[in-house]
Structure 1
C-alpha cells in the first residue's frame, strides 16, 4: 500500500540539488526523492558465513594464532 510523505522546511539549496539530480536521471523530483529514500533505507544483502570467511585475506601462518607460544 502506498503512503504519502510530506517533507517541509527543506533548504532551497537541497531542493535545487534534488531537482538537478532528477533532471540528470530523467525523472521528476518526486520520483528522485522516492529513489533516494529507497536506496538509503534498503537493507543490504546478507552475506553467508561461508562468504565472509572466503573474503578474508590469506595472511600469516597457523603459528601466528597459537596462544601457547613460548
Structure 2
C-alpha cells in the first residue's frame, strides 16, 4: 500500500478531522482514509470542456423563447468637426 503525507494542513481542519475521527471511534488517519474513499467512490462524468459543462447544467432548466427585436438601421455617426 502507498502512503501519503499532507503538509500545511489548516489547524481548524485538523481539529475538525480529529473530532470527527473521535466521534467515529477511529484514528485521524483511518478517518481521512474513509473520507477519501467516500469522496472518490462516485464516478461522476467529467465534462470535457466548458460548453459541455454548461450544457449539462442547463438540461434541467425549461427552455425559454425570447423575442428577438428587429434590426434597426445604423444611426449616423456624430460630427466632431465643429
TM-score tier by shorter-chain length is: 0.5 to 0.7
- Unmatched runs of 5 consecutive residues or more in structure 2: 44-82
- 1:2-24 CA-to-partner distances (Å, cap 9, x unmatched) read 10011110110000000000000
Higher RCO by CA contacts (8 Å cutoff, separation 6 or greater): 1
**Higher CA-based Rg:** 2
Corresponding residue for residue 3 of structure 1? 2
**What's 1:28 paired with?**
27
Normalised by the size of structure 2, how large is the TM-score? 0.50
Distance 1:20 1:7 in 2: 18
Of Structure 1 and Structure 2, which has the larger fraction of its residues in helix? 1
- Which 4+ residue blocks in structure 1 deviate beyond 4 angstroms? none
CA RMSD in angstroms, aligned pairs only? 0.9
Give structure 1 stretches of 5+ with no counterpart.
45-70
Task: Give the total of aligned pairs.
Answer: 43
